[in-house]
Amino acid sequence: MKNKEENISIDRKNYLRKIFIKKSIVLLTQIIIVIAIIATWEILANNNIIDSFITSQPSRIVDTLLNLSSNGLLEHIGVTCIETIIGFISGTLLGIIIAICLWWSKFLSKVAEPFLVVLNSLPKVALRTNNNYLGWSRNASNYSYGSINFINSNYT
For residues 93 and 77, the answer to whether their CB atoms sit within 8 Å is no
Interval 99-145: pLDDT, tens: 999 999 999 999 999 999 988 888 877 766 655 555 555 555 545 44
Rounded CA separation 10/100 (Å) = 68
Contact between residue 108 and residue 101 where contact means Cβ atoms under 8 Å apart: yes
Question: 79-91: per-residue pLDDT in tens?
Answer: 999 999 999 999 9
Its pTM stands at: 0.43
Distance CA 133, CA 147 (A): 11
- b/e burial code for range 79-112 (CB count within 10 A of at least 16 → b): eeeeeeeeeeeeeeeeeeeeeeebeeeeeeeeee
